[in-house]
Amino acid sequence: MNLFIINAMEKETPILETYKAVVYFVTSDLVRVVLLVAFPAITLFLLPT
């Protein structure tokens, strides 16, 4: 939904160009979720202080 808002604000940029720019961020989010599901101990790790 935010992609449509960004595209409406920048009228010269085609929607496909906006999608291409966001692919890297969505991919990094998916990798992060996969890592947290595969290794749930990462979320419980606390640095010793």
Residue 29 — very low, low, confident or very high, per pLDDT cuts 50/70/90? very high
Rounded Cα gap, residues 32 and 34, in angstroms: 5
The answer to the question of residue 26 being in a domain is: yes
Q: Give a yes or no: residue 31 inside a domain.
A: yes
Average pLDDT over residues 13-30: 92
Compute the average pLDDT of residues 31-38.
94
pTM of the model: 0.66
Instruction: Tell me if 23 is assigned to some domain.
Output: yes
pLDDT value at residue 45: 80
**pLDDT of residue 49 exceeding 70:** no
Across 22-28, average pLDDT: 93
Number of domains in the chain: 1
Alpha helix stretches (DSSP H) within the chain:
2-9, 15-38, 41-44
Residue 48 domain-assigned (yes or no): no
pLDDT at 13 over 80: yes
